[in-house]
Chain A
Amino acid sequence: MEKNIAYVALFAALVVALGTTPALTLPGGIPPITAQTFGILLCGTVLGARLGGLAVLVFLGIVALGFQVLPGGRGGLGVFVGGSAGFLVGFPVAAFVAGLVMRASTLPVWLAAAVAGVIGGIGALYPLGILGMSIALEKPMIEAAVACIAYLPGDLIKIALCAAVTHSIAQMRPQALLSRA
């Protein structure tokens, strides 16, 4: 019990730190493209579905409390009703799905993490994000989807990085990879 709470809390803090520490933000510093989605996927591929999803929920709690920890210094309750609210709702789902894929696949860790990243970070996240945008802007899903294509290359890079990081964690400390434990 204590261990689970500690892991969830620390990984929520890690997601914040990955998104706000200048040394760790990824190249191509346009605000929405930072290390944050990377941290969210990492929660799923390292902690597994349940704990990873919970860690991302705690991260959203930090956002809702009014800390400006989203890319571009956004935060507070307002972001949950804005145009990208669907993506926020999709974050814990993405981590959860990535964790499920990690557990279900028998591929080598790096490949499993890449597949988990694609299925969770694009397959699960984008439909929710697009749905949210289409509701907020009253546009058909197709048009909202077109507006999201700009994020695809950045997210693919982040999925590749997530695979690399998950792989090196598995090498450094295999028992830490709770998603496969």
Chain B
Amino acid sequence: MLGLTSAHKTWMHRLPVGPKLALLALFSVVLFWLDNLWPMLVALVLVAALVASGGAGFARQALRLLQPVWFFVALLAVWHLWLNDPLNGLRIALRLVVAVTAANLVTLTSRLSDMIDLIERLLGRKVALTLGLALRFVPVLGERAAMLSLAWRARSQKRAAWRLVPGLTVGAFDEADHMAEALRARGGLV
């Protein structure tokens, strides 16, 4: 499982995560509060300049992350052409694109370990630990699912699909019991 932190190092990677997130929150609030086309275009230019400042490879990555937005942009285009109100449609679509790109910029330029450190500082050790454990067990459960699926295919020609899920879930319970014991054996959480 891969995170989204960009391998194309930019100057934005060197900024600390906390201020970046605070800035993003502020930017998003302002963006949703604006209801004019011109400030929206300014925001677009700003975000586009930030993306471009990271170089071509970085920009391509940021563009690829916009993929889920195009569906909504297309929906808005059809809708507002039909309403005969293209300028408003353009403004709403721009806001969506700018907001998503700005948020993705923070994701692309922040290291996973820095973000988990921030979570630990803000929300406490238990939350950070739970998150870390969950991340660790994603590949474990993935492997188990693959194994169950192989065992199914060795015995049946039908598709297994959801029939594997009860077994996988009970397996997750066993794994959780082991993990709880291991945590307690190491002194537990106080």
Decide: A76 near B4, CB < 8 A? Known: A66-B107, A82-B100, A137-B75: yes
Are the C-beta atoms of B96 and A9 separated by less than 8 Å? no
Are the C-beta atoms of B173 and A176 separated by less than 8 Å? yes
- Report A-chain residues with C-beta under 8 Å of the C-beta of B5: 66
Are the C-beta atoms of A77 and B141 separated by less than 8 Å? no
Are the C-beta atoms of A67 and B4 separated by less than 8 Å? yes
Tell whether B45 is near chain A: CB-to-CB under 8 Å: no
Are the C-beta atoms of B112 and A137 separated by less than 8 Å? no
Binds B, one of A14-22, A92-100, A109-117, A119-127: A14-22
Binds A, one of B8-16, B36-44, B48-56, B157-165: B157-165
- Report A-chain residues with C-beta under 8 Å of the C-beta of B172: 10-11, 13-14
Residue of A nearest to B72 (CB): A83
Interface residues of B toward A: which range? Answer: 35 or more
Decide: A137 near B137, CB < 8 A? Known: A13-B172, A42-B169: no
Question: Given the complex of chains A and B, what is the CA–CA distance between A62 and B132 in angstroms?
Answer: 9
Tell whether A141 is near chain B: CB-to-CB under 8 Å: no
A58: contacting residue among B92, B131, B161, CB under 8 A: B131
CB proximity of A116 to chain B, nearest CB, Å = 16
Are the C-beta atoms of A76 and B72 separated by less than 8 Å? no
Residue of A nearest to B119 (CB): A61
Question: Given the complex of chains A and B, what is the CA–CA distance between A26 and B127 in angstroms?
Answer: 31
- Report A-chain residues with C-beta under 8 Å of the C-beta of B134: 8-10, 12-13, 16, 58-59, 61-62
Are the C-beta atoms of A78 and B173 separated by less than 8 Å? no
- Report A-chain residues with C-beta under 8 Å of the C-beta of B104: 76-78
Chain B residues at the A interface, C-beta cutoff of 8 Å: 1-5, 24, 28, 32, 65-69, 71-72, 75-76, 79, 88, 92, 96, 99-101, 103-104, 106-108, 110, 112, 115-116, 119, 126-127, 129-131, 133-138, 140-142, 145-146, 148-149, 159-162, 164-166, 168-170, 172-173, 175-177, 179-181, 183-184, 188-189
The 9 closest A-B pairs by CB, nearest first: A66-B4, A76-B107, A9-B133, A77-B103, A23-B149, A13-B137, A83-B72, A78-B104, A12-B134
14 additional contacts (CB under 8 A) given A24-B145, A173-B170? A2-B179, A8-B130, A10-B133, A10-B176, A17-B138, A21-B145, A65-B3, A68-B4, A74-B67, A76-B108, A135-B32, A137-B75, A137-B96, A169-B170
